[in-house]
């Protein structure tokens, strides 16, 4: 949301920032407001952890209470988290227009909670800001009621704006010459002991050191399953604490390739200044443009398949596209242009 917030500030338009606090660890929350020079949230819902239902319900209850005294003209939500669905439902139930940033993404994998969240949010939104033509076509084919606008994705805006500030000393700190950057946080990968053991095997056998900024929940799972002993005995695996946005951008820039189950990172690696191959450790992706443009391979979690994809990525690294399929860095401006031009 940073590019939209900064554009609203630039035009002196009246807005509020509402922080759900779904990610409440300092390294996954406060540091982003500080680094991106965003205004402090006007309200913090303090949703925290909990079940899927608790997070959606907590968001709805907190926002309904706030909106009764602070009725907005439109509520913008971005992405596919439980808080996004809760925010959209709270708004539409009170007759407030909803704008969904990053609309139209589909993995077609109904096992993913995120798939439910984004589909439901799209179908109750008044404004749908699709990052690509493919996303817009999906929305049209689903006969959504809202107005569809192709804007690119604000992820690229942020990368272009902040990449000059990206910095990391990870190579010096870990005394390594090169590395693979890994992230994994999805429940199907890190909450299942068999899948988690597969992740460890992949990291053990990668052709160069693996740096893994690890989610606190995943670290706990590794300890509870006894897998941490394998990591401690491997010279190839480097677990580090979650890092801020600037350091993570620096790591994306410095790494040789990325292994991840993240959605957003599939877009980030396509940006000018990054341009790195990514091996997606999922069975499906809602970012097919990253695959079509040659950046991503979607391979699942089989160690054999993942390691083969890593070898292939190294062999084809010079063939990556020069331009990102997710826009030219003006998505935030386009979205605010649309908001300013319509009667809301």
Residues that are catalytic:
185
- Please state, as a whole number, how many other Cβ atoms lie within 10 Å of the Cβ of residue 231: 20
Residues in CB range of 54: below 8 A, 6 or more apart: none
Q: What is the DSSP string of 76-130?
A: EEESSSHHHHHHHHHHHHTT-EEEEETTT-----TT-HHHHHHHHHHHT-SEEEE
> Residue 163 gets which letter from DSSP?
G
- Residues 157 and 329 sit within 8 Å (Cβ to Cβ): yes
Kindly report the CA angle at 13 between 9 and 17, in degrees rounded to 5?
65
- Please state, as a whole number, how many other Cβ atoms lie within 10 Å of the Cβ of residue 245: 18
Q: What is the DSSP string of 176-242?
A: -S--EEEE---HHHHTSHHHHHHHHHHHHHSSS-EEEE--HHHHHHHHHTTTHHHHHT-SSEEEE--
Measured between alpha carbons, how far is 270 from 171 in angstroms, rounded to an integer? 23
What is the residue whose two structure tokens read 């007759």? 95
């Amino acid at each position: 949301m940073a590019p939209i917030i900064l554009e609203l500030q630039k035009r002196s338009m009246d807005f509020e920032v509402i922080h759900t606090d779904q990610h409440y660890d300092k390294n996954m929350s406060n540091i982003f407001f500080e680094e991106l020079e965003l205004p402090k949230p006007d309200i913090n819902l303090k949703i925290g952890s909990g079940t899927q239902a608790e997070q959606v319900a907590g968001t709805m209850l907190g926002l309904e209470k706030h909106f009764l005294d602070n009725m907005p003209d439109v509520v913008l939500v971005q992405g596919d988290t439980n808080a996004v669905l809760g925010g959209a439902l709270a708004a539409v139930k009170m007759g407030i227009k909803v704008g969904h940033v990053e609309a139209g993404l589909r993995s077609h994998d109904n096992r993913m909670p995120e798939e439910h969240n984004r589909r439901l949010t799209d179908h109750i939104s008044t404004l749908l800001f699709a990052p690509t033509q493919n996303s817009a076509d999906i929305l049209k084919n689903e006969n959504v009621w809202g107005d569809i606008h192709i804007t690119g994705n604000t992820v690229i805006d942020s990368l272009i704006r902040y990449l000059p500030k990206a910095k990391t000393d990870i190579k010096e700190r870990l005394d390594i010459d090169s590395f693979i950057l890994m992230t994994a946080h999805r429940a199907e990968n890190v909450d299942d002991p068999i899948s988690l053991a597969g992740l460890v095997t992949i990291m053990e056998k990668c052709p160069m050191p693996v740096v893994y900024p690890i989610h606190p929940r995943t670290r706990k799972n590794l300890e509870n399953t006894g897998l941490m002993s394998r990591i401690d005995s491997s010279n190839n695996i480097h677990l580090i604490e979650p890092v801020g946005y600037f350091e993570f951008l620096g790591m994306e820039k410095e790494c040789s390739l990325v292994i991840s189950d993240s959605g957003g990172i599939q877009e980030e690696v396509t940006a000018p200044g990054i341009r790195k191959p990514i091996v997606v450790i999922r069975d499906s992706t809602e970012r097919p443009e990253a695959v079509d443009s040659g950046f991503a391979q979607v391979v699942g979690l089989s160690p054999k398949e993942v390691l083969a994809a890593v070898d292939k990525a190294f062999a084809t690294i010079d063939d990556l596209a020069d331009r990102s399929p997710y826009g030219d860095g003006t998505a935030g401006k386009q979205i605010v242009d649309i908001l300013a031009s319509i009667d809301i």
